[in-house]
Amino acid sequence: MADATTLAALRAAAFEAMERAYAPYSHFPVGAALLTPDGAIISGCNVENSSYPAGTCAERAAIGAAVAAGHREFTHVVVATNADRPTPPCGICRQVLQEFAPQCRVTSITRGGAVAEWSLSELLPNPFTPSSLRRE
Ligand code: THU
């Protein structure tokens, strides 16, 4: 469990990333901040596209940036929106989080101060994992 100072830094990073979101189509900016086991924080935002399916969610943008910077393990992800209620990661992002952070905590926060928290295994029970690819 991240300490209060680290959680505050994660929350701030998620909101900062949310401010940089490129969401001219949905008008639904999202920021995500990942915590690594050694305390690094890497963030991402959603990046939409006029060809709608080409857009990327904040969580996957954060994971892409983190992996490119050499991080492959994450203990916590904070997702920030200005929605009325905290929003959980979408299904595709749950699957991508599963690859690198199967044990991670997922916290969702809103500008209005609402908070929700889950484990990834609550959000994605019975996941497809690297071991699912094994053939005997
Ligand atoms: N979005 C995210 O960035 N993360 C999620 O987990 C759910 C949805 C983005 C995708 C799109 O740019 C906008 O929110 C509306 O769906």
The string of DSSP letters for 27-50 reads: ---EEEEEE-TTS-EEEEE-B--S
pLDDT in tens, 116-131: 999 999 999 999 999 9
How much is the pLDDT for 66? 98
Catalytic residue among 16, 48, 59, 73: 59
Residue 51 region, left (φ>0) first, then alpha (ψ -120 to 50), else beta? beta
How much is the pLDDT for 111? 97
Is 19 in the active site?
Answer: no
26: which residues sit within 8 A by CB, 6+ positions away?
46, 48
How much is the pLDDT for 136? 76
Ligand 1 atom nearest the C-alpha of 57 is 3
Closest CA to 78 of 24, 128, 28, 6: 6
Closest CA to 93 of 82, 104, 109, 83: 104
Cα separation, 7 vs 76, whole angstroms: 9
What tokens does 52 get?
A: 């709608």
How much is the pLDDT for 104? 97
Residues of the chain with pLDDT under 50: none
How much is the pLDDT for 38? 96
Ligand 1 atom nearest the C-alpha of 48 is 12
